[in-house]
Structure 1
Amino acid sequence: MLIAIPLLIVPVVIYNIVIIFIGQDASNGLAVASDVLSDPLFAVTMASGARWSVSVGDLILFLSLILLFFELLKSTTSQKAAIVNHALSMVLFVVCLIEFLLLGGFATSVFFLIMTMVLLDVLAGFIVTIIAARKDFEFGQGRS
């Protein structure tokens, strides 16, 4: 039943932990959140001599992209758990949308991109399910 849990809940929870426990300031929540997300964790010197700085927000987005890939792979299955996964993904999107619209520390580009990935997961899951169901229906009609 663990396959029914959307993987994109992981970056959403990590973002919540970073913002609520590390980057939240009652008077200036958005500025503190942006600072925490954009402060470089480390930098790598490239062959060109340029320095590539990696921040907490970059790492959360990187993890989100990897998990989105696996979520899209999961959406191609037609197991019963996939229906639960789609429903939970929709709930996760609604939670993300509420946080984005109502909480100051969540009105950042990083969280917007995470929320967009969750929306893409929802859309992909429903589209793949509809296409698979239509193919099953067409195949069933061909038999007489």
Structure 2
Amino acid sequence: MLTPVPLLIIPLALFNIVAFLTPSLDWSAPLALVSMLSGAQWKITLAEAFIATCLLVLFFEILKSTRISSRSLIDHLLSILLFGVSLAEFLLVPQAGNSVFALMLAVMLLDVMTGFSVSIRVAQRDLSVRPDAG
């Protein structure tokens, strides 16, 4: 079973490793060029691939939030902490001051909001109201 560690720490770590090891990295550099049936050429950049990876990880985070357990509260609190640390990094670290990091930050915020929303909704379904017998 997955531990109550936010999975979005993986893209954050990857971003930091790439950004700090290769400071002159061009996020708009093409990774692949795909020929479409229409004849158009789809250029996939490093930034787009990274954001797509973040969205895939977000999908698994949302799946994790549908479980109700004592660990889900810890997971939500760690997600808030991860968002806060990432926001501070975005504001204070020059390597993180770009659109790629801002979109990853938006994904983290969506994770926090969705995690609480889904947990509250699942908890409401589990709550049964018994009419007063008096």
Name the TM-score, length of structure 2 as normaliser: 0.87
Q: How many residues align?
A: 132
- In the TM superposition, what are the counterparts of 1:112-127 in structure 2 within 5 Å? 112-127=102-117
Deviation at 1:13, TM superposition (A): 1.0
Structure 2 alignment gaps of length 5 or more: none
Q: Report the Cα distance in structure 1 between the residues aligned to 2:34 and 2:123, rounded to whole angstroms.
A: 48
- Kept in 2, the 8 Å contact 1:14–1:60? The answer is no
Matched, 1:49 2:39: yes
Deviation for aligned residue 1:124: 1.2
Q: Tell me, in whole angstroms, the C-alpha distance in 2 between the residues paired with 1:132 and 1:41.
A: 40
CA distance in 2, matches of 1:13, 1:58: 17
Aligned with 2:120 (options 112, 123, 130): 130
**Residue segments in structure 1 that go unaligned for 5+ positions in a row:** 25-31
- Structure 2 residue 6 is the aligned partner of structure 1 residue 6: yes
Q: For residues 1-144 of structure 1, what are the structure 2 equivalents within 5 Å?
A: 2-22=2-22, 24=23, 32-33=24-25, 35=26, 37-137=27-127, 139=128, 141-142=129-130, 144=132
1:8-65: CA deviation from partner (whole Å, max 9, x where unpaired): 111111111111111x2xxxxxxx35x2x11112211222222212222111111111
Q: Contact 2:68/2:123 (CA < 8 Å) preserved in 1?
A: no
Query: Over aligned residue pairs, what C-alpha RMSD do you find?
Result: 1.8
CA distance in 2, matches of 1:45, 1:55: 15
CA–CA distance in structure 2, aligned partners of residues 55 and 13 of structure 1:
19
CA contact (8 A) 1:72 1:121 kept: yes
User: Do the aligned residues in 1 keep the contact of 2:35 with 2:41 (CA within 8 Å)?
Assistant: yes
| 1:130 to partner: Cα distance | 2.7
Percent of matched pairs sharing the same residue: 41
- The whole-number CA distance in structure 2 between the counterparts of 1:95 and 1:102 is 10
TM superposition shift of 1:134: 4.1
Q: Give the letter for the 1:5 counterpart.
A: V
